[in-house]
Amino acid sequence: MIGLVQRVREARVTVAGACVGEIGPGLLLLVCAEPADTEVQAGKLVDKLLKLRIFADDAGKMNRSVVDIGGGLLIVSQFTLAADVSGGNRPSFTAAAGPELGRACYETVLRLARARHPVVAAGLFGADMQVALINDGPVTIPLRIA
C-alpha cells in the first residue's frame, strides 16, 4: 500500500462543487492500494499514520502525533500514486490495484481509522475530486507499507 502524508493546517475535498470532507489541523493521507494488499497493510498504514511524530512539541521538535494534538485525518483515494513513468512520458498504472480491490482497501483504511481516531473525513472513491490544502511546514512524507 502506498501513502502520501501531508501535515496540514486545513484541508478539504470537493466533488462536483460540494464539500464532501474537511479538517482543520491534522494529516491529509492520499492512499493507493496495490494488487497484493489486504487488511493487514491497511492496518499497518493506519498504525503508522496515527503514530507519526511530525507535529512540533513545546521545544519546536517534531515529536507529537496527530493523536497527541487532537488533529483530524482527511483520507483520499489516489491510484495515481502507483504511477510508473519509466517507459516514457505517459504514466502506467498497472501497479495499482484494480477498482474492486482498491475500493475495498480504501474502505478498510477508513473503517480502521474511524475506529481508532475521533476526527476522520474522506473523499469519494473513484470520483473526480478537488483537494485543497494548506500544507504546514511544508511536511510531506511518502509511505510504502508491505
Catalytic residue set? 78-80
Hey, how many other C-beta atoms are within 10 angstroms of the C-beta on 22?
15
Strands 62-64 and 55-56: antiparallel
- 3-state class percentages of the chain: helix first, strand second, coil last, to nearest 5: 25, 40, 35
Please list, in sequence order, all residues whose beta carbon lies within 8 angstroms of the beta carbon of residue 122, skipping any fewer than 6 positions away. Answer: 13, 20, 21, 74, 75, 76, 110
CB-based contact 72:23 (threshold 8 Å): yes
Q: Give yes or no for a cis peptide into 25 (omega within 30° of 0).
A: no
